[in-house]
Structure formats: C-alpha cells, structure tokens
Structure 1
Amino acid sequence: MSATPVTIAYIGGGSLNWATKLMADLAHDTTLAAQVRLYDIDHAAAQRNAKIGMRFADVSKGTPARYAAVPSMQEALSGADVVVVSILPGAFDDMACDVDIPARYGIKQAVGDTVGPGGFVRALRAIPMMISIAEAIRANAPRAWVCNLTNPMSVLTGAMYQAFPAIRLWGECHEVTKLRHQVAWIANQEAGAARYSHRDVEVNVLGINHFTFVDAIGLEGRDMLPAYRAFAGQHGNSGWSPREIDPTDEHDLYFMDRSRVKFDLYRRFGIPAAAGDRHLAEFMPQGEYLDVAADWEFTLTPVSYRIRDRAEKQARADALAAGQGVPYADRSDEALVDQIKGLLGLGQFVSNVNLPNRGQMDGLPLGTIVETNALFSSLGVTPLVAGRMPDALLAITADHAARQSALLQAVADGRWDDLFDLFRTDPLVVPLPAETARQMFDEMVQATAHHLPRDLLKEAS
C-alpha cells in the first residue's frame, strides 16, 4: 500500500522542541509521505531544522519525510494540507518580565503563560501575531487543517477564529496525557506487567486549556474511575510521581510534580483534575497553592532556567544538524500525526482539543474556547459532547473563560481602556489595591512595549 502524501506548513519552523517531536513521529510513521515546509522569522533556525529533518528522514520506518526551509510564510502556506503554528510570542526576556515583575508585587506564578498577569500580558503581544497568521492562512491556504500549539492556547485559538471564522483550526495541548499516564500506571501495577500505555486510556475531558478535568475514565471496557479514586485517596497526602524526582536535575525540579494539587482539586470538587499541578495552581487564588508551592511539592519555573535550557537544546540541535549524534524514529506522546491521519481518512482518532464551544460543553457560552474531546476523521474535527462540570468548579472555569473572551474582544476592537479592568479581575491580581495593580500593569506593558500597539502604550502611560 502506497503512503498518503501530505504537505505540512510549519509556522515557527525553527522550534527547538515541537518541530523535532514532529520529525520523530513522522519518521516512526509508515503511512504518510510528508513534505514539510519550515518557516520562521529566524530563517537560519528553520534551515538548521531542515537539516535535522533530513537526518530523521534517513532513519524513517516508512516513506521519508522531506523538509525545506522557506523564506516566506506565503511560500510555506501555498497548497498546504496542514498548518502547524508553534511560535514564541516575543522572547524569553519578555517572558521573564511576565513572571518577574508580578513577583516583585508578591504574585507568584508557576508558568505565567496562560492566566494570571503573565498570561494576560503574553496574550496582549501574541494576539496580533496570531491574527496576522490567520489572515495569511485565509489568503494562501483557506482549506488547510490548522493546529495551534501556542500559548495562551484559549485566547490565541480564539484570536485565529476571530480573524478567520471559517478557519479549520484546533488547539493542541498534551497536559491531559499526564492523567492518562497515571491511569496506565495503575492498570500496569494491577496487571503486574507493562501492558498498557496512555494511548489505551480513554477519558471524557471538560474544561478550558490547562484547567482540564475528566468525569469518566475507561480502559479496555473497564470503568477505571473507582481505581483512580482509590489511587488519589492513597496518594493525596504523600503525593505520587512515576519515578523519583531528582532535586539536582533542573528539568526534574522545574517540570515534574507529585500531583498533590491534582489530588486536592479532586477531593474538593469531586472530579479528577487532568492537567499538571503547575498549570492548575495558577487558576486558583494566590494563597491556595502558589504561595505554598513547596508544601504541595511543585516548583515555580524560573525563566532563567528556560534560557539555559534553550541554549543547551540549541547546542544539541546544531550538533545534530552538523551530522553528530543519532536521531531516533521514536514515537513521542504527541497526538498530531494521529490527528493528521484521521483527517486524511486513515482511521478515526479521538483526542482532547481546544475548539469554540458549539454545545459540547454545557454551562459555558457558545463560541467560548473550551477543551473537550473531538473526533478526527475524513469528516473533519467533530467536537464530542462532554457534559457539564460540577457547579462550584464550573464557576471558577466560567470566570476565567469570560475574562479570556473579553480580553480577546477588547484587543480585536482596539478597546485598550477596557484592558486594565479585565486585568484586575484575575484571581491572582484581585488582592492588590487598585493603585498597586495599575502600577504593576503599566510596568508590565512598558516592559513588552516593542510588541504592542502604540494606542495601548498611550493608555498605559
């Protein structure tokens, strides 16, 4: 059987993380014949990744993917079947300001890319970028399937729909995979062997990006919710991780957790939390988890580490592009290749994605970007009915979702004078006196001024 051709445009093709995961997944796959066009404002980074892609092609299990770095977004998009959007909105220096300025005002953030003051200001500089990408897709690849990997996921997925309502777009996030790994671990412990992977675990997902929950868990026809309930009860106070966290390893220290926040939210709201602790904590008031992160056994990730880690990844990527090291056609945990295959008619696939609410999630307004399961098939991306969260949890989720929608609309309409009032309503900002919150907002806006419209800077001055 011949491989199915597919042309993929990768916007942000100089990526040091997601691009190489896609390369490994394409090398592992045996059903696609992919042509991947890499576009990045840093063209040299895209050229490096094209060289890396050809090294993955050399170890492919099926038809080798072909990679090319292209100099313009138009060239990348023209005739594309699939578009992947994976950009960094600004630079790590901007992200450092998103985290460090609020910290001086007593606001701790574990990540700072989704909600809280960091997520809010990151959205301000990213929304215009994503609108321009959506407009380019409308002009050059209006029928392409589009996957957004960029945070803040909810706001930016909404921004692309705002700019191009007919866009065939979903937002992709792997946080729910963490709970599915836990359930597979439980089942393997019971079986006494490594029989199951996270891909065998089915969950019904409800929420918004990085604040996701599940109310049903299945594995080979078995209801796994009772087993997970017992697991969470057993480890709620002691915590759990799939292996010991090495405190001398910075990646372990800043990215692994012991699910204490996840288990506590389950206890409080009666529904298992799916995302990782660092993200979940930022949706809750400051004093609940973030101020006492060490007690809950997770760590705030400093941007200084991200900068060091990026330098190390770049050195490894440069070496791989130069012919050093060995690329492996190992399948990652990411779902993108399976989703593409579903859309091309190569089997159906269900996964959690971010889409406008078309009724799949009860209790949130239509059009709100929600995260639930969807079916990928030759018919497209079809959201699956998820149901409704418990009322107390829905109230928290609805508050964040409404702020995200209002933020997007204010930026799209140029209503800059509405932004501070929205900024003040985030649970992490609410405790600050109005004058202090205004001072922090102005300082954050000025710190990222080179990415923002002049009208907004006028409002903040």
Structure 2
Amino acid sequence: MKLAIVGGGSTYTPELIDGFIRLRDALPLTEITLIDPDAERLGLVGDMARRMLAHAGHPATVEATASLDGGVAGAQAVLLQLRVGGQAARNVDETFPLECGCVGQETTGAGGLAKALRTVPVVLDIAETIRRSAPEAWIVNFTNPVGIVTKALLDAGHRAIGLCNVAIGFQRRFAALLGVPPTRLTLGHVGLNHLTWERSVHLDGRDVLPRLLAEHGEQLAGPLGVPAGLLRRLGVVPSYYLRFFYAHDLVVEEQRTKPSRAAEVAEMESALLEMYADPSVTTKPELLDQRGGAYYSEAAVALITSLLGDRDEVQVVNVRNGGALPFLADDAVIEVPATVTAGGAVPLPVDPVEPMFAGLIAHVSAYEALALEAALHGGADRVADALLAHPLIGQYHLSRDLADLLVDANRGHLPWARVYG
C-alpha cells in the first residue's frame, strides 16, 4: 500500500511516521512518498523518516521527490499538508490585521482569508495532477483553512475529505480526565473547521459532559483561554479557536505585546531540522509535541484505514453538509462525526443546534463561501466583501483597509493582485 504526502518536507512529517509505526497493523504501508519542492528540508525529513522506520523494524520504504506526478503515481491515498509561503507568509497573516485592531491568526479572520487566497489555487493544481496520475486515490486534506480548501476540492469533483486534529485532541483530553481509554468515548462535535463545540461526551453511551464541566471545568478552560464559568453556562466545550470570537479584544491586546506564533514556530522548526539532521536521532523528538498537530497521525491513520478498508467507522471529518445542519446550504462543508467507508463520508444525524452556536456557524459559513469565490476568481472587491461578511470584521472601513493590506502583502502569491496599484 502506497501513501503519498504532499508537503512531505514539513517538520510535521515525523509525527505521521511515528503514527504509521505505532499503528502498522491497522495501516500496512509498504511505500511512503514524500513530495516537496524544498530539496534541503525534504532530504533531512526523508532521512529522518527512514531512520525511524528502520529503528522500529517497519518494512515501508521512503521515497523523497520534488516530482508531483511521479510521487503520487500508484498511491491509494494522498495527504496534503502544505503551507504556501511558509512561516514568513504566516507571520504576515498573524500581524497585518493587528494594524486595524483585528485578531491576527492564520486560519481565522483576515489572516485566514489571506492563507485561503494563496492556498486554494495551488491545492487545486495539485489535485488535478493527482486526478491524472492516481485517479483512484483519496485526497486527505490537512491543509488550512481546512474547510475552505476541502470545499474547493469537492466543488471541483475530487475524491477528498478534510481532516483536523481538534476532535481527537478533545477525545484524548477527556479520556485522561476520566481515566478511561479514548475508544470508550464518542463526541457530539459540531460546527465548521476551527469553529466547533463539544455538546456531548458519551462514555459507553452515557453523556458525561455535565460531569466533566462540574469536576474539571478549570482544567478544560485553562488551555482554551476562557473562564470555566463560561463553559458551565454554555454547557459545552468550545474549540480553542472560539477564543478569537469570545475574547476578541483581549486576544488583540495580547497579540500586540508578544511575538507571533509564526515566529515561535519558525524557531521551533529550526531546532527540529537540526535534530532531524542528527543521524543518531531515530525516534520522534519530544519538541515536536509543541509544534502543534497532536494526535494528527492517529486521526490520519484512522481515516485512511476507514477509506481504504471500507470499515464503516465513525470519524470526525470535514464533509459536505447534505442537510445535516438544515440552516446551511447542502454543499457547505461542515466538521461533524460521519460514517466513513470506501465510498466516502456521510454525516451522522445532528441534534438541533442551539441558536447561539447555529447563528455563528451560519455567519462564518457565509463568509467561507465568499472567501472561496475570492480565492477562485480574485479581485480586491471580492476580498473586501468576504472580510465585510466575517463576524470578526463586519465594518466597511475595516474590510476595505484590511483588503488593501492583504492584497499588498500577498502580491507575490496572487497573480491577479499584481495588476492592482
């Protein structure tokens, strides 16, 4: 079984390799192809992957290549984990919105739109190559903003499913607090990518979320950056990304007084690449756990296994709405538990969503539709319209100022933007 990873030179890749090693019985890979245009990083990460597999006695081979056509040929699944513009572009995404008093984040608000504009055209070009060279392969998209990118892939007719690690991270955290194996828990996870809430946590069929909030509210709220009282009042556990909505002004104040996350990650990546260059390092470095993407490999292996093994299992994925959330368009992409088979993913029925959450979901979904239009067709006016529709912006002067800053900062990645003065 062959798996191809586009963006294989990412420092994330050893996290995946570690998961492939630990879960080899579930996913019996024989060939892993890492695809990346950055030859230096690809060489370091490729060698690291080979050492990890050899150390663990895993039989899979690793090929590292810059050729997309050759790299994906014969693959049963292709995982996308690319970052157009690298950490330098991310740093811009996380800083230019602050000039207008708006949150700076790589998947939310104006920064998230900038990333979508750079990323969607590149991903669609990659997907066309996959369609030609590996027409039966499933595309598993981990590239942010996952919801917008996945919708672009699906609208273009590709065999694609979006994946995020938020749900599996919560499952593992809840299991640790309860002292039970994660496999005994199922989540009432609902929303859009990076805009989700856990509305229930079932342990062997019984909802224990009220118990978690009562006994562990402070422990849950701390990493989310919101008060435990808010969680108990709402009766849910929101994803970390809801802090950008629930505490927007506080977040902006904090961001203005400390280095961007991109700057922190850039330093971390330099240290990781030095470790990967050390031939004595044969296992995933502990530092990688701070990079983000915790349990990413477990989620990826579970999804790929369900798709290729036709296991009829439930996974939290990014998938077509198809009526699951009746207040959204059927072709919207949502993040919910879905039954995954060789034919794809179908959302499970969702209990009616409370107005407080449904309203924000509908608002952001409308923004995402406009963001995709801007990514596909370009134009400063489309960019401004998408920003005007975003609930974190929503003022015409902010939307126009942010659009000007965004276009100016991304001209090198947006061919249509080069014609604007």
Give the TM-score normalised by structure 1. Answer: 0.81
**Structure 1 residue identity aligned to 2:327:** G
Q: Secondary structure at the match of 1:451?
A: coil
Partners of 1:445 and 1:175 lie apart in 2 by: 30
Distance 1:344 1:443, change over 3 A: closer
* 1:420 to partner: Cα distance: 0.9
Distance 2:353 2:30 in 1: 40
Q: Do the aligned partners of 1:360 and 1:383 also contact (CA within 8 Å) in 2?
A: yes
- With over 3 angstroms needed to count, the CA separation of the structure-2 counterparts of 1:356 and 1:47, relative to structure 1, is same
The CA deviation at 1:14 is 0.4
The 2-side partners of 1:370 and 1:450 are apart by 31
The residue correspondences of 1:68-147 to structure 2 (distance < 5 A) are 68-109=63-104, 112-147=105-140
Q: Which residues in structure 2 correspond to 1:220-369 (within 5 Å)?
A: 220-231=204-215, 235=217, 239-240=218-219, 257-261=222-226, 263=228, 266-267=231-232, 269-273=234-238, 275-276=239-240, 279-284=241-246, 286-287=248-249, 289-291=250-252, 301-319=260-278, 323-327=279-283, 333-334=295-296, 335-345=299-309, 347-369=311-333
Contact 1:205 1:386 in 2 (8 A): no
Q: Distance in 1 between matches of 2:151 and 2:229?
A: 30
Residue identity in the other structure for 2:115: R
Q: In the alignment, does 2:366 pair up with 1:402?
A: yes
**Aligned pair in 2 of structure 1 residues 177, 307: CA closer, same or farther (>3 Å)?**
same
What secondary structure, in the 3-state scheme, does the structure 2 residue paired with 1:449 have? coil
CA distance in 2, matches of 1:229, 1:390: 18
CA–CA distance in structure 1, aligned partners of residues 69 and 229 of structure 2: 48
Secondary structure of 1:290's counterpart equals helix
Distance 1:157 1:228, change over 3 A: same
Q: CA separation of 1:412/1:211 partners in 2, compared to 1, >3 Å: closer, same or farther?
A: same
- Asked if the contact 1:269–1:390 (Cα under 8 Å) also holds between the matched residues in 2, the reply is no
Q: Which residue number in structure 1 is paired with residue 147 of structure 2?
A: 154
Choose 378-387 or 121-130, whichever is displaced more.
Answer: 378-387
Q: 1:22 to 1:301 in 2, by over 3 A?
A: same
Deviations 1:397-446 (A, max 9, x none): 11111111121123324455322122123233235x61x54233212211
Matches within 5 A, 1:422-437: 422-430=386-394, 434=397, 437=399
Q: Does residue 202 of structure 2 align to residue 218 of structure 1? A: yes
Seen in structure 2, the aligned counterparts of structure 1 residues 204 and 241 have a Cα distance that, compared at 3 Å, is closer
Instruction: Structure 1 unaligned segments of length 5 or more: list them.
Output: 1-5, 189-195, 243-256
Query: What is the distance in 2 between the residues matched to 1:99 and 1:229?
Result: 32
**What is the RMSD computed on CA atoms of the aligned residues?**
2.7
Amino acid at match of 1:290: V
Once the two structures are overlaid, the 10-residue window that deviates more, 89-98 or 44-53, is 44-53
Residue 449 (1) aligns with residue 408 (2): no
CA-CA distance at 1:171 after TM superposition:
0.9
Output one character per residue of 1:236-295: Cα deviation in whole Å (capped at 9) or x when no partner: xxx3269xxxxxxxxxxxxxx53342845534544332x22xx222245733x524669x
Contact 1:285 1:427 in 2 (8 A): no
Q: Which has the higher helix share?
A: 2
State the SS of the aligned residue for 1:381: strand
Deviations 1:307-351 (A, max 9, x none): 2111111111122xxx22231699972311122222232745322
State the identity %: 24
Q: Which residue of 2 aligns with 1:175?
A: 166
Deviation at 1:175?
A: 1.2
**Alpha-carbon contact 1:116-1:283 (below 8 Å) kept:** no
Q: Structure 2 matches for 1:373-384, cutoff 5 A?
A: 373-384=337-348
Contact 1:59/1:329 (<8 A) preserved: no
Distance 1:344 1:416, change over 3 A: same
Q: Match for 1:86: what amino acid? A: Q
**C-alpha distance in 2 between matches for 1:221 and 1:443:** 50
Greater mean deviation of Cα atoms: 402-411 or 338-347: 338-347
Letter in 2 for 1:127: V
CA distance in 1 between counterparts of 2:33 and 2:125 reads 19
